[in-house]
Amino acid sequence: MSALRRLYRYLTRYKGWAVIAFGSMLIFAITQTVMIALSQPLFDEVLTRPTTKVTSQASGTKQWVLDVVMKRDRPEGQRGWLINGYDRVAKRFDSWWNAKPREKWRKVLIVLLIVFAIRAFTSFFAEYGFQKVGLSTVRDLRNELYERIIHQSHRFFSVRSTGEMVSRLVSDADQIQAAVSTRMGDLFQESITLIGLLVYVFISNTELALIAFIAAPLLVYPVIHFGFRLRRTTHRSQERMADMATVLEETIRGVRIVKAFTMEPFEIGRFREATRRHLQSTLKAQRIQALTSPVMEMLGGIGILMLFLYAHRRIAAGTLTIGQFVSFIAAIAAMYQPIKKLNKVNLSVNMALSAAERVFRMLDIDNEVKEKPDAVAVASVGSGIRYENVTFAYENEPVLRNINLTIAPGEIVALVGSSGAGKTTFVNLLPRFYDVQQGRITINSVDIRDATLNSLRGLMGFVTQEVVLFNDTVRNNIAYGRGDVDENLVTEAARAANAHEFITTLPQGYDTQIGESGVLLSGGQRQRLAIARALFKNPPILVLDEATSALDTESERLVQQALNNLMRGRTTLVIAHRLSTVRSAHKIVVLDKGEIVEVGKHDELLGRRGTYRKLYDLQFLEQEHPTGALA
Burial class (CB in 10 A: 0-12, 13-18, 19+), 213: middle
What CATH number does residue 616 fall under?
A: 3.40.50.300
Clarify whether residues 293 and 220 are in a common domain. yes
Is the pLDDT at 471 greater than 70? The verdict is yes
pLDDT band for position 82 (cuts 50, 70, 90): very low
Of the candidate ranges 485-489, 549-553, 599-603, the one whose mean pLDDT is the lowest: 549-553
Clarify whether residues 341 and 454 are in a common domain. no
Give the residue among 127, 119, 123, 125 at the shortest CA–CA distance from 36.
119
Clarify whether residues 311 and 385 are in a common domain. no
Last residue of a domain, one of 331, 363, 395: 363
* Phi (first) and psi of residue 480, to 5 degrees: -55, 120
The pLDDT of residue 160: 78
Name residues whose C-beta falls within 8 Å of residue 517's C-beta, 6 or more positions apart in sequence. 467, 468, 469, 471
The pLDDT of residue 261: 66
Is the pLDDT at 457 greater than 50? The verdict is yes
Is 553 within the bounds of a domain?
A: no
| Crossing angle (nearest 10°) for helices 81-97 and 104-150 | 130
Clarify whether residues 187 and 276 are in a common domain. yes
Highest mean pLDDT among 135-139, 401-405, 580-584: 401-405
Asked whether the CA dihedral 25, 360, 234, 270 is positive or negative, the reply is positive
Highest mean pLDDT among 117-126, 200-209, 483-492, 513-522: 117-126
563-590 as b/e: b if 16+ CB within 10 A: beebbeebbbbbbbbebebbeebebbbb
Clarify whether residues 354 and 398 are in a common domain. no
CB count in 10 Å sphere of residue 325 = 21
Clarify whether residues 427 and 322 are in a common domain. no
Clarify whether residues 264 and 397 are in a common domain. no
The pLDDT of residue 469: 82
Clarify whether residues 301 and 407 are in a common domain. no
pLDDT band for position 449 (cuts 50, 70, 90): very high
Give the mean pLDDT of 422-447: 90
* Phi (first) and psi of residue 210, to 5 degrees: -60, -40
The pLDDT of residue 441: 92
pLDDT band for position 406 (cuts 50, 70, 90): very high
What CATH number does residue 351 fall under?
A: 1.20.1560.10
Clarify whether residues 231 and 344 are in a common domain. yes
Distance (Å, whole) CA 472 – CA 486: 18
Q: Which of the pair, 604 or 109, is modelled with greater confidence?
A: 604
The pLDDT of residue 70: 46
Q: Which of the pair, 479 or 90, is modelled with greater confidence?
A: 479
Helix ranges, 391-451 (H): 423-428
* Phi (first) and psi of residue 572, to 5 degrees: -125, 135
Total domains, the chain? 2
Last residue of a domain, one of 303, 331, 363: 363
The pLDDT of residue 547: 63
Put the strands of the sheet holding 385-393 in their side by side order.
398-407, 385-393, 438-443, 446-447
Give the mean pLDDT of 587-614: 88
Is 99 within the bounds of a domain?
A: yes
Q: What pTM, to 2 d.p., does this model score?
A: 0.66
The residue count for the chain: 631
The pLDDT of residue 163: 75
Is 76 within the bounds of a domain?
A: yes
Report the chain's terminal Cα–Cα distance, integer Å: 66
Q: pLDDT tens digits for 107-120?
A: 777 888 888 888 88
The pLDDT of residue 391: 93
Distance (Å, whole) CA 474 – CA 460: 22
Is 328 within the bounds of a domain?
A: yes
The pLDDT of residue 299: 67
Clarify whether residues 255 and 395 are in a common domain. no
Clarify whether residues 410 and 444 are in a common domain. yes
User: Which string of DSSP letters, residue by residue, matches 98-159?
Assistant: TS-GGGHHHHHHHHHHHHHHHHHHHHHHHHHHHHHHHHHHHHHHHHHHHHHHHTS-HHHHHT
Q: pLDDT tens digits for 124-179?
A: 888 888 888 888 888 888 888 888 888 888 788 877 777 778 888 888 888 887 77
Q: How far is CA 488 from the centre of its chain?
A: 39
Give the mean pLDDT of 385-404: 90
Domain encompassing residue 221: 3-363
Average pLDDT for the chain:
77
The pLDDT of residue 64: 41
Is 501 within the bounds of a domain?
A: no
Cβ pair 477, 471 in contact under 8 A = no
Clarify whether residues 395 and 434 are in a common domain. yes
Is 465 within the bounds of a domain?
A: no
Q: pLDDT tens digits for 220-237?
A: 666 666 666 766 676 677
Is the pLDDT at 563 greater than 80? The verdict is no
Is 517 within the bounds of a domain?
A: no
Of the candidate ranges 135-149, 495-509, 566-580, the one whose mean pLDDT is the lowest: 566-580
Name residues whose C-beta falls within 8 Å of residue 147's C-beta, 6 or more positions apart in sequence. none
Distance (Å, whole) CA 540 – CA 479: 17
Is 179 within the bounds of a domain?
A: yes
Q: pLDDT tens digits for 36-70?
A: 777 777 776 666 655 444 444 444 444 444 454 44
Q: Which of the pair, 82 or 24, is modelled with greater confidence?
A: 24
pLDDT band for position 443 (cuts 50, 70, 90): very high
Is the pLDDT at 622 greater than 60? The verdict is no
Last residue of a domain, one of 363, 389, 412: 363
Q: pLDDT tens digits for 316-372?
A: 777 777 777 777 777 777 777 777 777 777 777 777 888 888 888 888 888 888 888
